[in-house]
Amino acid sequence: MTVHPEVSLQALHFNEPLLEFALKQTTPHPKDGLFLYGPHSKTKKTREVRIGVIGTAAGIGYFREWVKRIKGRIDVPPPGKGEKQDRLHLANFPGLEEAFGISLNEAEFAAYPLDLKAIDQTTRILNLHEAVSKVVKLYADKTRRHRDNDERVIDLWVLIAPEIIFDRCRPKARRAGLPMEKGEFTRRQKTRSDLPLLREVLTTEEVFDDIPDFHRQVKAEYLTLSPTQILRETTLAPDAFKNKAGYPIRRTQDVATVAWNLATGMYYKTQPKPPWKLAGIRPGVCYIGLVYKNLPNDPNDHACCAAQMFLSEGDGVVFRGANGPWKTGDYEYHLRPDAAKDLIEKVLETYREQYDCAPNELFIHGQTSFNDDEWRAFEAAAPAATNVVGVRIKTTRGETKLFRDGDYPVLRGTALLLDEKNAYLWTNGYVPQLDTYIGPETPNPLFITALRSKRAMPPLKTILGDIMGLTKINYNSCNYNDGLPVTVRFANMVGEVLTMGSAKGAERQPFKFYV
């Protein structure tokens, strides 16, 4: 968009959205709210979380020790050379029960050890797709065996991964110099190459339906099993893994911050309600983010579509839509009317199940625009009383900068209104409460466009305020805010899981299964 240099633009600042915790107490910082009040659905009695843990014997030991440690207070480390004494973006961890009202009993874990030699051998299978698939199977088989043979109910499966998995089980992993194993796929290829009539079926292997990435495949495999928490051994015990110079081989966050983030994720994945919710949200509002991801190895260049639904309580649900030829340009995806209508109907059906009515407002957030046929289908799926609003949210790459007092980063929450439908919104920037801007460069804004609405378009200020609020409900960490609203923040991750060939039987799943 080109703005005439003589045009006067309106600049706004949105106050930091408040979060609600126990006893309806509010504060903008999740760590403050949890420390002072506890999670918003806090009960009088401490809830014990039932954990299943799978990893090497050493990895399980690291996790048990980590659990013992988070039961008590963990202080942030003293400032290093050149750091501020009052680093307000860091916070001491008060203890799991004190902050979250839950407990873990490391003596009662359902623990299933894996043989490190077996993991090592499996990660050296020549075909990377087969190697990753079989490593994931080592973990998933333990979970299924527990489900079939053990009466203990598990709230969360914690999968502890040694570093060789992260070194070798990702796309384009460097495995040069390792003695390789042939594996079943290579042996089948050799057999088929000796039989000319079978050569034409060499590319039909289902193993290629999945990207060879351990994290994505675990999430896909467990969609119908359980929420998971994947932890690296080096996260739990960084000092146990040092290089020749005596330094940890991997740089991690300070222990208190790691405790805040992992405890938040564990609470979210095991409790009925998230640890906090947005305060003062308008009643009857539903937000969905559209997800598109190209299917791997698809000769027709088809894509998977999905919708992430988030409500005022903050929790989310992911709906898998149809696969199809949705990609219409380099960065444009559009659904056929029947697929668009079906996807929105799934969302509205779930909303009615929870509230026994349709939403007053349904905001559809996307990173592309909506064509006429697609939009008419969205409107047709919603009842007359529901106003459907389409909003495009695009990241920018430095073409627009705004400074404070000459050369300081702009305040988070600053917006520059270009007209009635377009604005720049800085969801990253200087935060007075933290007395810092956490970022490597001057913050870039989001470019927000109010595209369409079924009835009257809400004021642009309302749309921008909602987006600010949605940057504060990432329950996979305990950060002050994200740079993207949750409707867009995890779109790529959700798409990567859903395009896995193993992601079957999960047409509607809680969002917690994906993170």
> With pLDDT > 90 as the criterion, what percentage of the chain qualifies?
74
- Model pTM? 0.92
SS3 273: coil
Q: If we measure between CA atoms, which residue out of 397, 433, 431 comes closest to residue 411?
A: 431
What is the reported pLDDT for 189?
64
Q: If we measure between CA atoms, which residue out of 289, 290, 221 comes closest to residue 513?
A: 221
Domains of the chain (ranges, CATH numbers): 10-17+277-513 (3.30.420.10), 106-270 (no CATH)
What does the pLDDT look like over 267-315, one tens digit per residue?
Answer: 999 999 999 999 988 899 999 999 998 888 777 888 999 999 998 776 7
Provide the b/e sequence for 140-156 (b: ≥16 CB within 10 Å). Answer: bebbeebeeeeeeebbb
Quickly list DSSP for 154-179: -SEEEEEE-HHHHHHSSTT---TTSP
What is the reported pLDDT for 202?
42
Q: How many CA atoms lie within 13 A of 338 on its CB side?
A: 3
> Residue 451 corresponds to which tokens in the numbers above?
């595209």
- The region of weakest confidence among 136-145, 251-260, 392-401, 411-420 is 392-401
- On the question of pLDDT at 200 being above 50, the answer is no
In angstroms, the CA 258 to CA 255 distance is: 5
What does the pLDDT look like over 12-46, one tens digit per residue?
Answer: 999 999 999 999 999 999 999 999 999 999 888 99
Q: How many secondary structure helices (H) and strands (E) does the chain include?
A: 15, 21
Mean pLDDT of the 218-229 span: 95
What does the pLDDT look like over 468-512, one tens digit per residue?
Answer: 999 999 999 999 999 999 999 999 889 989 888 666 667 899 999
Whether residue 487 contacts residue 194, with contact meaning beta carbons closer than 8 Å, is answered with no
Alpha helices in 252-411 (DSSP H): 255-270, 337-355, 372-381
- The region of weakest confidence among 114-118, 268-272, 290-294, 396-400 is 396-400
- On the question of pLDDT at 76 being above 60, the answer is yes
Q: If we measure between CA atoms, which residue out of 281, 291, 256, 304 comes closest to residue 473?
A: 281
pLDDT band at residue 408 under the 50/70/90 scheme:
confident
- The region of weakest confidence among 15-24, 198-207, 335-344 is 198-207
Give CA angle at 440 (436, 441), nearest 5°: 90
